[in-house]
Structure 1
């Protein structure tokens, strides 16, 4: 597996259950990405940081959660926008996929808030995007749908992916750039 390839959703889910994290794989990935986008450090003990619970065990080196961290950090920093969301495959139900996307958004907001603080310096575009993400996080999954609903979900996934990259650029990358200048 390439360093920038996310581990399988089922592997992350199994590890989350094994460590009793109380979060789905998608929500954990969202929380990790939010943490990183907000300027949080890419450290092996990230679950304790993003879940704000120091009692959470540190994932095994090269285990699913460690690989998730390494791949996510690499993808967010990749200038070719090769960033993926850890979500169920297209063959899962619309309800399962939309629910996982909304879980991802909730996780992202939590992780971002923990690392960026209550008043991060954001562009107007990022502030609007963060508000849109909050509305998605509050949404309920759709039970079933048609081709139009499938297309809408695909567009929302792409929007969420771009928002994560935008916020990462505004906060984490801007902070790194400022450090290099000083």
Structure 2
């Protein structure tokens, strides 16, 4: 059984640096989740696929990046919506957390596009949500703000989480169901 909690951001960062991956941990997780949501396979060499660089090394089995893949795939497929984004902890600055969230969105869009292709079969709701993610991916980090800004960040984070699950359901899960029916 796969772990239900994501590895620590610091562990993902350390392994990512050791493999010379050119993405932040949040962007890398977003790319992985986008890849999986777009119907990409959960495979050991996922960084090479989601970063579109065949020369990228394959992560060590049971390393932080392998655990990230296994946990993310399990969370996306879990019907109880127990899906988490790999972002800095709540004690990090709002600027750091919002920047990481926008990085996550950029990664998601890239991974999703690679796996789903240029014209995935999306519901109207999913198409609109994908457009919303693109707008978030283009946003600039929020300067440290007040309690209202913190609440807005929490709402945006939850929205992104739900959009990832929606797109996974529309593309990856729908394709799996079609395969079972045929």
Question: TM-score per shorter chain, which class?
Answer: over 0.9
Q: CA RMSD in A?
A: 1.0
Instruction: Give the count of matched residue pairs.
Output: 182
Moved >2 Å (runs of 4+): none
- Does the CA-based 8 Å contact 1:4-1:70 persist in structure 2? no
Q: Does 1:31 align with 2:31?
A: yes
Residue 160 of structure 1, CA deviation: 0.1
> Match of 1:179?
179
Partner of 1:134: 134
For 1:6, the equivalent position in structure 2 comes to 6
Which runs of structure 2 are paired with 1:57-68 in the superposition (5 Å)?
57-68=57-68
Correspondence 1:20-169 to 2 at 5 A: 20-169=20-169
Alpha-carbon displacement from aligned partner over 1:124-170 (angstroms, at most 9, x marks no partner) = 00000000000000000012100000000000000000000000000
- Provide Cα deviations, 1:78-130, integer angstroms capped at 9, x if missing partner: 00000000000000000000000000000000000000000000000000000
SS at the partner of 1:152? helix
Secondary structure in 2 aligned to 1:162? Answer: helix
After TM superposition, give the deviation of residue 48 of structure 1 in Å.
Answer: 0.1
TM-score (norm. length: structure 1): 0.99
Give the drift of 1:5: 1.1
Tell me the secondary structure at the aligned position of residue 153 of structure 1. Answer: helix
CA distance in 1: counterparts of 2:39 and 2:4, whole angstroms: 19
Structure 1 residue runs without a partner (length 5+): none
Rounded Cα–Cα distance in structure 2 between residues aligned with 1:163 and 1:108: 11
